Amino acid sequence: MAWDTARTQQLLLDAAAREFSRVGLAGARVDRIAADAGVNKERIYQYFGKKHELFGVVLQRELHGLLDAVSVEGTGTKAVADYAGRVFDYHCEHPELSRLLMWEGLELGAPHALIERRATCQRKVKGMREALPELTDVQARDLLITIVTLSDGWHVLSNLDQLYFGDPDEQRRLQRRDAIVTAAEAIAERLSRQSV
């Protein structure tokens, strides 16, 4: 039977995303990743190189998932609010991304694949400015990072949320989503007024 390289790589990337998001780069173990994937750990080195390089590939894959799946659609502050809600929804469906970004910030000196990611982020800035043409580049960047950090925060600071609200459930998730949508729209409205 022929070896399915693409499937093996997918299994390893999925297992690595779970491991890295749970314990970070320093805490992750190649043995656990391989065992979770049901693959010999030598395949990790063969396909991805060292653990640090695997982390970068996983982070890129997870980040591209968000960037490809969620974009600003339409114009005006309602479009920004809708975008914020969909970013939050994406993070709820893919909580690994929030944790991977947190671990990257805690453990690495600089963002992985900085130039490529900056170019991707600039496309997001362009999309935000198409939705709100009165925004400057700086304002669009600030609005985007605010939306992302609000959405990420619920997943990486879940214990803090429990202190305020108790055990999370679907109603709490919807309340948090509404708070993020409301905040994003209010910030977008204020920035729009400042620019005029």
Predicted structure pTM score = 0.90
- Residue 47's pLDDT band, with cuts at 50, 70 and 90, is very high
How is domain 56-195 classified at the CATH fold level?
Tetracycline Repressor; domain 2 (1.10.357)
Residues 62-81: b if buried by 16+ CB within 10 A, e if exposed: bbeebeeebebeeeebebbb
Question: Is 50 exceeded by the pLDDT of residue 1?
Answer: no
Domain boundaries, the chain: 5-55, 56-195
In three-state secondary structure terms, 38 is coil
Question: Is 70 exceeded by the pLDDT of residue 129?
Answer: yes
The pLDDT score that the predictor gives to residue 121 is: 85
Give the orientation angle of helix 158-165 with respect to helix 137-156, to 10 degrees. Answer: 70
Contact 80, 142 (CB under 8 A): no
How is domain 5-55 classified at the CATH fold level?
Arc Repressor Mutant, subunit A (1.10.10)
Question: Is 90 exceeded by the pLDDT of residue 143?
Answer: yes
In CATH terms, are 5-55 and 56-195 the same topology? Answer: no
Average pLDDT over residues 51-77: 93
Q: Is the pLDDT higher at 64 or at 188?
A: 188
Query: How many Cβ atoms from other residues are within 10 Å of residue 180's Cβ?
Result: 22
CA separation (Å) from 5 to 28, 47, 60, 131, 183? 23, 9, 19, 42, 45
- Residue 196's pLDDT band, with cuts at 50, 70 and 90, is low
